[in-house]
Amino acid sequence: MTDNPQPLVAPAKWGLPYAEDHMQPAIQREQSYILAFAVLTIIAWQTEIGTLALMPFTLLATWFHEMAHGLTAMLLGAEFERLVIFANGSGFAEYSGSMWGIGQAIVAAAGLLGPSIAGCLMIIASRSRRATRWVLLGLAAALVVTTLIWVRSIAGWIVLPLFAVAAGYIALRGNAKWERIAVEFLGVQGAVSVYQDLGYLFSPGGQLGGQAVLSDTGRIADALFLPYWFWGGAITLAIAAMVWKSLQVASRY
């Protein structure tokens, strides 16, 4: 008998169970692969060939981004009319109703930070198999419901339900390893979805249909203070810190 016996069950942070120690290296290795793929995805998105090759994930990234815009606008009292996702990966969320400049800045920031926050919460949920299953089922339900209510484009009607079926299948039929990989993978994809177009993130705006439009960072700068490139840099640092911390929490067993 030892003088200082160890407890049979150690309390887990975040209220989620610890995995066995021998699993940690494997989980950290999986996270390294997922992060590497996320970096490659960001690089590929900056080219036409890469965007085409990753088109399903490009469309999913557009869904993350535009849904964050639309839902935030709705929470601020606007009417979320529709979400359009084009086959080339672009898209927009259309909402109606008057909104002060600060409200427009919040909606713009939500499109940049909202998907990253949701993605990081998904990554943290991978610590628990029960939470992992619920997140996958929740994502599947969200994809189906939002497609039925707001999506108004053929590309969205085709791709989003396919992602919903895949997430639901993994949640119901996959083993613990693939459930965890799927949640972390989709979480990282959501977190980096803002980098689908770096030129858009670090620009004041451009032309759309012959009309000048502000970028999200340009809209924030117009409503608040400091230039668009400051907000692009600040959001980039915030997302990098959130992803790093969420992966750190997810692997802390």
- Distance in angstroms (rounded) separating the CA atoms of residues 16 and 68: 27
User: Of 2-16, 63-77, 203-217, where does mean pLDDT reach its minimum?
Assistant: 2-16
pLDDT tens per residue, range 127-153: 888 999 999 999 999 999 999 999 999
Is the alpha carbon torsion for 85, 86, 87, 90 positive or negative? negative
Parallel/antiparallel/unpaired status of strands 91-96 and 205-208: unpaired
pLDDT at 17: 40
Q: Could you give the C-alpha distances from 202 to 66, 195, 244, in angstroms and in order?
A: 18, 10, 22
124 or 9, greater pLDDT: 124
User: Of 27-31, 56-60, 225-229, 233-237, where does mean pLDDT reach its minimum?
Assistant: 27-31
